[in-house]
Amino acid sequence: MKRRILLLAGGQSGEHEVSLMSARSVLGALPRDRFDVTPVVISKEGRWLPPTETQKALESGAAPTGGDLVLHRVASAEGYDAVFPLLHGPMGEDGTVQGLLTLAGIPFVGSGVLGSAVSMDKVMTKQVLASAGIPQVAWRLAVRREWQRAPQAVEARAAELGFPLFVKPANLGSSVGISKVSAAAELRPALDLAFSLDRRVILEAMTAHKPREVEVGVLGNDAPIASPVGELRFEADFYDYETKYTEGLATMHVPADLPPEVSERIRETALRAFRALDCAGLARVDFFYVEETGEVLLNEVNTMPGFTTTSMYPKLLEAAGYGYSELVTRLVELALEER
Ligand code: ADP
Ligand code: MG
Ligand code: MG
């Protein structure tokens, strides 16, 4: 019997358009003899769009306004065997939608509430991974209230890390709101920017040298596998928004040209992180490899990574032997698996 799948795309975060692109790829790839797929686009206002509006949004790449409140819609999601929440960033990848689907009793692709929420927050991720003994850069947390009431305390914390350092909203992606701060004088605007986007901000020591940026795809539930390691190369000072989304500014290399021992260490660490964070289904685990020192530092874990046919995650899994269509099918199977 065909499985009925609800594919959620779009969403309220800055990665709305990226999600629509991923959804078009996934829709084209889920085998029709096995799955009956209904897409629903979530507008930037968080409304679940009816079929005609959804179709328009998928075709044009931008969601119109209108649609239903989430809670009206989720009841009608009950007829589905599984949901594929192909949503990136806050209000989609962060445990919110996962909580809704858990309440509704519908299996879904990817991590649950806990793994999604912890992995979305860069500070919580670092805390959990530190207790699992996974190497990372030094960091400090700052919250908005503190920055408003006692900015000196936050500045002192930054000084402990030394310069250059990175200032980031704790719960965003796509490098939005991230600054590289080279001197104390640049700290204020960087913190103002990050706090305009999030209540929680992470300060991070920069790696000792400009790092190589390497990523691993993890696939599975209780017995996950790690893909070969891939690398992103670019000229920019760091992997900022422009470099990520301007065609031709960055290139992907799979497998990365690394000593076998380093690749193995990266893959093994990715699996440990996946388990420590209680991830499920899939995750792309991103690392900094500091060639000069030999350090492998875990940067972040993305529980719903970009998913177009040319995105890094599918490329990594392709190198592990999963074609795109096979990969999306496997993800739905994992969602239906008892855990
Ligand atoms: P996002 O979730 O938005 O992708 P990241 O934490 O991955 O945010 O940071 C974006 C980019 O900034 C990284 O890919 C890297 O190029 C640079 N970067 C971030 N933190 C550091 C750091 N501590 N040291 C060196 N480079 C960093
Ligand atoms: Mg990220
Ligand atoms: Mg990143």
Q: How many whole angstroms from 120 Cα to the centroid of ligand 2? A: 8
Q: Which residue's alpha carbon is nearest to atom 24 within ligand 1?
A: 206
Single residue among 89, 108, 127 that ends a domain in this structure: 108
CATH code at 192? 3.30.1490.20
Cβ(173) – ligand 1 distance below 6 Å = yes
As annotated, the active-site residues are 15, 174, 311
CATH code at 264? 3.30.470.20
Q: Which domain holds residue 182?
A: 139-205
Q: Answer yes or no: do 130 and 274 share one domain.
A: yes
Cβ(285) – ligand 1 distance below 6 Å = no
Evaluate whether 118 touches 124 at the Cβ level (below 8 Å): yes
Binding-site entries: 122, 166-168, 174-175, 204-213, 286, 299-300, 302
Q: Answer yes or no: do 126 and 70 share one domain.
A: no
Please give the pLDDT value at position 73: 63
Q: Answer yes or no: do 268 and 246 share one domain.
A: yes
DSSP letter, residue 77: G
Q: Answer yes or no: do 129 and 148 share one domain.
A: no
Please give the pLDDT value at position 70: 64
Q: How many whole angstroms from 122 Cα to the centroid of ligand 2? A: 8
CATH code at 97? 3.40.50.20
Q: How many whole angstroms from 45 Cα to the centroid of ligand 3? A: 25
Q: Which residue's alpha carbon is nearest to atom 10 within ligand 1?
A: 175
Q: Which of 172, 149, 230 is nearest to 18 (CA)?
A: 172
Q: Does residue 63 lie within any of the structural domains?
A: yes
> Crossing angle, helix 187-197 and helix 151-161, to 10 degrees?
110
Q: Which residue's alpha carbon is nearest to atom 14 within ligand 1?
A: 239
Q: Does residue 113 lie within any of the structural domains?
A: no
Q: Does residue 114 lie within any of the structural domains?
A: no
Q: Does residue 82 lie within any of the structural domains?
A: yes
- 3-state secondary structure string across 203-242: EEECCCCCCEEEEEEEEECCCCEEEEEEEEEECCCCCCHH
Q: Answer yes or no: do 200 and 214 share one domain.
A: no
Please give the pLDDT value at position 338: 81
Helices (H), the chain: 16-29, 51-60, 70-76, 96-104, 113-120, 122-131, 144-149, 151-161, 187-197, 241-245, 260-276, 312-319, 324-336
Task: Report how many domains make up the chain.
Answer: 3
Q: Answer yes or no: do 131 and 276 share one domain.
A: yes
What is the Cα–Cα distance from 310 to 174, expressed in whole angstroms?
Answer: 16
Q: Does residue 75 lie within any of the structural domains?
A: yes
Please give the pLDDT value at position 76: 60
What is the Cα–Cα distance from 293 to 90, expressed in whole angstroms?
Answer: 35
Q: Answer yes or no: do 95 and 51 share one domain.
A: yes
Q: Answer yes or no: do 151 and 276 share one domain.
A: no
Q: Answer yes or no: do 170 and 301 share one domain.
A: no
Please give the pLDDT value at position 8: 96
Q: Answer yes or no: do 131 and 143 share one domain.
A: no
Q: Does residue 270 lie within any of the structural domains?
A: yes
Q: Answer yes or no: do 131 and 262 share one domain.
A: yes
Q: Answer yes or no: do 281 and 321 share one domain.
A: yes
Q: How many whole angstroms from 108 Cα to the centroid of ligand 3? A: 24
Q: Does residue 265 lie within any of the structural domains?
A: yes
Single residue among 163, 190, 205 that ends a domain in this structure: 205
Q: What is the pLDDT along the chain (339 residues), one digit of tens a residue?
A: 899 999 999 999 888 998 999 999 999 999 999 999 999 999 999 999 988 889 888 988 765 666 666 655 665 666 899 999 999 999 999 999 999 999 989 999 999 999 999 999 999 999 999 999 999 999 999 999 999 999 999 999 999 999 999 999 999 888 899 999 999 999 999 999 999 999 999 999 999 999 999 999 999 999 999 999 999 999 999 999 999 988 899 999 999 999 999 999 999 999 999 999 999 999 999 999 999 999 999 999 999 999 998 899 999 999 999 999 999 999 999 999 987
Q: Does residue 95 lie within any of the structural domains?
A: yes
Give percent helix, percent strand, percent coil of the chain, each to the nearest 5: 40, 25, 35
DSSP letter, residue 260: H
Cβ(287) – ligand 1 distance below 6 Å = no
Single residue among 182, 205, 228 that ends a domain in this structure: 205
